[in-house]
Amino acid sequence: MKTLEIKNLHVKLNSKEDDASRNFGVLSEGKSKEILKGINLNVEKGTIHAIMGPNGSGKSTLANIIAGNPKYQVTKGEILFEGKNIINLKVNERAKLGIFLSFQYPQEIEGVTIFNFLRTTLGEINGRKPSIMEFKELLEEKSKLLDNPENFYERYLNKGFSGGEKKKSEMLQLSILNPKLAILDETDSGLDVDSLKIIAKGIKSLKEKNPEMTILIITHYKRILEYLTPDKLSIVIKGRIALEGNAELVDSLEEKGYSWIEED
Protein backbone atom coordinates (compact mmCIF):
# COMPACT_ATOMS: atom_id res chain seq x y z
CA MET A 1 0.00 0.00 0.00
CA LYS A 2 1.29 3.44 -0.95
CA THR A 3 1.34 6.20 1.67
CA LEU A 4 2.45 8.77 -0.90
CA GLU A 5 2.10 8.77 -4.67
CA ILE A 6 3.29 11.67 -6.81
CA LYS A 7 2.37 11.79 -10.49
CA ASN A 8 4.03 14.02 -13.10
CA LEU A 9 4.50 16.87 -10.60
CA HIS A 10 5.56 20.25 -11.98
CA VAL A 11 6.23 23.05 -9.50
CA LYS A 12 7.41 26.65 -9.63
CA LEU A 13 7.55 29.51 -7.18
CA ASN A 14 4.19 31.08 -6.45
CA SER A 15 3.94 34.27 -8.55
CA LYS A 16 3.55 36.52 -5.49
CA GLU A 17 6.53 34.91 -3.78
CA ASP A 18 8.40 35.13 -7.06
CA ASP A 19 7.89 38.90 -7.32
CA ALA A 20 8.95 39.42 -3.71
CA SER A 21 12.03 37.25 -4.20
CA ARG A 22 13.10 39.20 -7.27
CA ASN A 23 12.68 42.48 -5.40
CA PHE A 24 15.13 41.19 -2.81
CA GLY A 25 17.50 39.88 -5.45
CA VAL A 26 16.94 36.24 -4.55
CA LEU A 27 15.64 35.02 -7.88
CA SER A 28 16.84 36.41 -11.17
CA GLU A 29 14.94 34.18 -13.59
CA GLY A 30 11.47 35.50 -12.78
CA LYS A 31 8.13 33.80 -13.05
CA SER A 32 9.21 31.30 -15.70
CA LYS A 33 11.49 29.36 -13.32
CA GLU A 34 10.26 25.79 -12.94
CA ILE A 35 11.82 23.85 -10.07
CA LEU A 36 10.22 20.40 -10.34
CA LYS A 37 9.82 19.15 -13.89
CA GLY A 38 7.72 16.01 -13.83
CA ILE A 39 8.42 14.18 -10.57
CA ASN A 40 7.03 10.64 -10.29
CA LEU A 41 7.45 9.04 -6.88
CA ASN A 42 5.91 6.12 -4.97
CA VAL A 43 6.51 5.78 -1.22
CA GLU A 44 5.27 2.55 0.34
CA LYS A 45 3.59 2.50 3.74
CA GLY A 46 5.87 1.72 6.67
CA THR A 47 9.10 2.15 4.71
CA ILE A 48 12.11 4.43 5.03
CA HIS A 49 12.49 6.15 1.66
CA ALA A 50 15.52 8.37 1.02
CA ILE A 51 15.74 11.24 -1.46
CA MET A 52 19.23 12.39 -2.49
CA GLY A 53 20.58 14.80 -5.06
CA PRO A 54 22.99 17.71 -5.58
CA ASN A 55 22.35 21.27 -4.42
CA GLY A 56 19.53 22.99 -6.27
CA SER A 57 18.07 19.76 -7.65
CA GLY A 58 14.63 20.33 -6.06
CA LYS A 59 14.77 18.06 -2.99
CA SER A 60 13.66 20.65 -0.42
CA THR A 61 11.06 22.02 -2.83
CA LEU A 62 9.59 18.52 -3.03
CA ALA A 63 9.43 18.31 0.77
CA ASN A 64 7.76 21.69 1.06
CA ILE A 65 5.18 21.08 -1.65
CA ILE A 66 4.12 17.79 -0.03
CA ALA A 67 3.59 19.66 3.25
CA GLY A 68 1.65 22.44 1.49
CA ASN A 69 4.02 25.42 1.63
CA PRO A 70 2.17 28.22 -0.23
CA LYS A 71 5.49 29.63 -1.45
CA TYR A 72 5.32 27.05 -4.23
CA GLN A 73 2.73 26.49 -6.93
CA VAL A 74 1.80 23.18 -8.54
CA THR A 75 1.31 23.79 -12.26
CA LYS A 76 0.68 20.18 -13.22
CA GLY A 77 0.36 16.75 -11.63
CA GLU A 78 -1.03 15.12 -8.49
CA ILE A 79 0.03 14.42 -4.91
CA LEU A 80 -1.89 11.49 -3.45
CA PHE A 81 -1.73 10.79 0.28
CA GLU A 82 -3.31 7.45 1.17
CA GLY A 83 -5.09 7.63 -2.18
CA LYS A 84 -6.47 11.15 -1.68
CA ASN A 85 -5.37 14.08 -3.85
CA ILE A 86 -4.15 16.75 -1.40
CA ILE A 87 -3.09 19.39 -3.93
CA ASN A 88 -5.76 21.86 -2.78
CA LEU A 89 -5.44 21.24 0.98
CA LYS A 90 -3.84 23.81 3.28
CA VAL A 91 -0.87 23.13 5.56
CA ASN A 92 -3.00 22.56 8.68
CA GLU A 93 -5.36 20.25 6.77
CA ARG A 94 -2.45 18.12 5.62
CA ALA A 95 -1.05 18.04 9.16
CA LYS A 96 -4.37 16.74 10.47
CA LEU A 97 -4.21 13.94 7.89
CA GLY A 98 -0.86 12.91 9.38
CA ILE A 99 1.85 14.71 7.37
CA PHE A 100 4.82 16.13 9.28
CA LEU A 101 7.75 18.17 7.94
CA SER A 102 10.99 18.59 9.88
CA PHE A 103 12.49 21.85 8.60
CA GLN A 104 16.03 22.21 7.36
CA TYR A 105 16.25 25.60 9.10
CA PRO A 106 13.78 25.64 12.06
CA GLN A 107 12.48 29.10 12.97
CA GLU A 108 13.00 30.73 16.37
CA ILE A 109 9.80 31.81 18.15
CA GLU A 110 10.41 33.94 21.21
CA GLY A 111 7.76 33.90 23.94
CA VAL A 112 6.36 30.47 23.01
CA THR A 113 7.71 27.51 24.99
CA ILE A 114 8.20 24.11 23.40
CA PHE A 115 5.74 22.76 25.97
CA ASN A 116 2.92 25.14 25.04
CA PHE A 117 3.62 24.92 21.31
CA LEU A 118 3.48 21.12 21.23
CA ARG A 119 0.51 20.82 23.60
CA THR A 120 -1.50 23.24 21.46
CA THR A 121 -0.42 21.59 18.20
CA LEU A 122 -1.29 18.12 19.47
CA GLY A 123 -4.68 19.40 20.57
CA GLU A 124 -5.36 20.89 17.13
CA ILE A 125 -4.45 17.66 15.36
CA ASN A 126 -6.26 15.27 17.73
CA GLY A 127 -9.20 17.52 18.52
CA ARG A 128 -8.46 17.40 22.25
CA LYS A 129 -5.78 19.26 24.18
CA PRO A 130 -4.18 16.97 26.79
CA SER A 131 -4.09 18.05 30.44
CA ILE A 132 -0.90 19.73 31.65
CA MET A 133 0.16 16.77 33.81
CA GLU A 134 -0.71 14.23 31.11
CA PHE A 135 1.31 16.13 28.53
CA LYS A 136 4.26 16.70 30.85
CA GLU A 137 4.58 12.95 31.39
CA LEU A 138 4.46 12.37 27.64
CA LEU A 139 7.14 15.03 27.00
CA GLU A 140 9.46 13.65 29.64
CA GLU A 141 9.11 10.15 28.21
CA LYS A 142 9.92 11.27 24.67
CA SER A 143 12.72 13.62 25.78
CA LYS A 144 14.67 10.68 27.20
CA LEU A 145 14.91 9.14 23.74
CA LEU A 146 16.80 12.21 22.50
CA ASP A 147 18.95 12.75 25.61
CA ASN A 148 17.46 16.22 26.01
CA PRO A 149 18.50 18.07 29.18
CA GLU A 150 16.03 18.49 32.02
CA ASN A 151 13.42 21.19 31.42
CA PHE A 152 14.43 21.44 27.74
CA TYR A 153 10.76 21.84 26.83
CA GLU A 154 10.43 24.93 29.04
CA ARG A 155 12.67 26.95 26.71
CA TYR A 156 11.30 29.20 23.98
CA LEU A 157 10.92 27.35 20.68
CA ASN A 158 14.41 27.21 19.08
CA LYS A 159 15.39 30.54 20.68
CA GLY A 160 19.15 30.64 21.09
CA PHE A 161 19.40 26.93 20.21
CA SER A 162 22.49 25.43 18.64
CA GLY A 163 22.07 23.56 15.37
CA GLY A 164 21.95 20.25 17.22
CA GLU A 165 19.39 21.54 19.74
CA LYS A 166 17.12 22.76 16.94
CA LYS A 167 17.19 19.34 15.33
CA LYS A 168 16.47 17.69 18.69
CA SER A 169 13.51 20.04 19.08
CA GLU A 170 12.23 18.96 15.66
CA MET A 171 12.63 15.29 16.56
CA LEU A 172 10.79 15.87 19.84
CA GLN A 173 7.92 17.33 17.81
CA LEU A 174 8.00 14.26 15.56
CA SER A 175 7.83 11.86 18.50
CA ILE A 176 4.94 13.75 20.14
CA LEU A 177 2.82 14.20 17.00
CA ASN A 178 3.48 10.66 15.74
CA PRO A 179 2.46 11.29 12.11
CA LYS A 180 1.69 8.79 9.37
CA LEU A 181 4.27 10.41 7.06
CA ALA A 182 7.38 12.06 8.49
CA ILE A 183 9.38 14.16 6.02
CA LEU A 184 12.89 14.84 7.34
CA ASP A 185 14.44 17.62 5.26
CA GLU A 186 18.22 17.45 5.76
CA THR A 187 17.90 16.62 9.44
CA ASP A 188 21.61 15.70 9.45
CA SER A 189 22.69 19.16 8.25
CA GLY A 190 25.12 20.82 10.68
CA LEU A 191 25.13 17.97 13.19
CA ASP A 192 28.23 16.55 14.82
CA VAL A 193 28.65 12.78 15.02
CA ASP A 194 27.32 12.47 18.57
CA SER A 195 24.17 14.53 17.86
CA LEU A 196 23.55 12.59 14.66
CA LYS A 197 23.74 9.28 16.53
CA ILE A 198 21.31 10.49 19.21
CA ILE A 199 18.78 11.76 16.66
CA ALA A 200 19.07 8.63 14.51
CA LYS A 201 18.59 6.48 17.62
CA GLY A 202 15.45 8.45 18.51
CA ILE A 203 14.01 8.06 15.01
CA LYS A 204 14.72 4.32 15.00
CA SER A 205 13.10 3.90 18.42
CA LEU A 206 10.01 5.80 17.24
CA LYS A 207 9.84 3.71 14.05
CA GLU A 208 10.08 0.48 16.04
CA LYS A 209 7.14 1.54 18.21
CA ASN A 210 5.13 2.58 15.17
CA PRO A 211 6.15 0.29 12.25
CA GLU A 212 3.38 1.69 10.03
CA MET A 213 4.93 5.18 10.09
CA THR A 214 6.44 6.12 6.72
CA ILE A 215 9.65 8.15 6.76
CA LEU A 216 10.90 10.23 3.82
CA ILE A 217 14.50 11.32 4.41
CA ILE A 218 15.96 14.08 2.26
CA THR A 219 19.73 14.40 2.48
CA HIS A 220 22.94 15.27 0.66
CA TYR A 221 25.14 12.79 2.42
CA LYS A 222 25.49 9.13 3.26
CA ARG A 223 26.10 9.46 6.98
CA ILE A 224 22.51 9.52 8.32
CA LEU A 225 21.70 6.56 6.06
CA GLU A 226 24.39 4.56 7.86
CA TYR A 227 22.12 4.67 10.93
CA LEU A 228 18.73 4.62 9.17
CA THR A 229 18.99 2.15 6.31
CA PRO A 230 16.54 3.10 3.56
CA ASP A 231 14.27 0.55 1.92
CA LYS A 232 14.44 2.59 -1.27
CA LEU A 233 16.50 5.49 -2.60
CA SER A 234 15.45 8.03 -5.24
CA ILE A 235 17.94 10.43 -6.85
CA VAL A 236 16.67 13.86 -7.93
CA ILE A 237 18.62 15.62 -10.68
CA LYS A 238 17.47 18.93 -12.17
CA GLY A 239 13.89 18.60 -10.94
CA ARG A 240 13.33 15.00 -11.97
CA ILE A 241 13.79 11.51 -10.50
CA ALA A 242 16.86 10.36 -12.41
CA LEU A 243 17.51 7.00 -10.76
CA GLU A 244 16.07 4.70 -8.08
CA GLY A 245 17.47 1.75 -6.20
CA ASN A 246 18.07 0.23 -2.79
CA ALA A 247 20.56 1.07 -0.02
CA GLU A 248 23.49 -0.19 -2.11
CA LEU A 249 23.05 2.79 -4.43
CA VAL A 250 24.21 5.05 -1.58
CA ASP A 251 27.70 3.53 -1.77
CA SER A 252 27.89 4.21 -5.51
CA LEU A 253 27.03 7.86 -4.89
CA GLU A 254 29.67 8.09 -2.19
CA GLU A 255 32.26 6.74 -4.61
CA LYS A 256 31.25 8.42 -7.88
CA GLY A 257 29.17 11.47 -6.90
CA TYR A 258 26.24 12.57 -9.08
CA SER A 259 28.07 13.36 -12.31
CA TRP A 260 27.79 9.83 -13.70
CA ILE A 261 24.00 9.92 -13.33
CA GLU A 262 23.77 13.32 -15.03
CA GLU A 263 25.89 12.03 -17.92
CA ASP A 264 23.67 8.98 -18.36
pLDDT digits (tens, 9 = 90+) for 60-76: 999 999 999 999 999 99
Burial 3-29 (b: 16+ CB within 10 A, else e): bbbbeebbbbbbeebbeebeeeeebee
Average pLDDT, the chain: 86
Say if residues 79 and 65 touch (Cβ distance below 8 Å): yes
Say if residues 168 and 51 touch (Cβ distance below 8 Å): no
The residues with which 72 forms a beta bridge, in sequence order, are 13
Q: Which of 104, 103, 102, 230 is nearest to 176 (CA)?
A: 102
3-class state of residue 175 by DSSP:
helix
The whole-model pTM stands at 0.87
**In the predicted model, what is the mean pLDDT of residues 238-260?**
86
Query: pLDDT per residue over 130-185, tens digit each?
Result: 999 999 999 888 888 777 777 888 999 989 888 888 888 888 999 999 999 999 99
pLDDT classification of 29: cutoffs 50, 70, 90: very low
Range of the structural domain that residue 79 is part of: 2-263
264 pLDDT more than 90: no
Range among 80-84, 123-127, 135-139 rated most confident: 80-84
Q: Which of 213, 240, 241, 243 is nearest to 228 (CA)?
A: 213
Q: What is the CATH number of the domain that holds 171?
A: 3.40.50.300
The count of domains in the chain is: 1
Say if residues 66 and 74 touch (Cβ distance below 8 Å): no
35 pLDDT more than 90: yes
Q: CA separation (Å) from 126 to 44, 117, 179, 209, 259?
A: 24, 14, 11, 19, 46
> Rounded CA gap, 64 and 262, in Å?
24
Q: State which amino acid sits at residue 59.
A: K
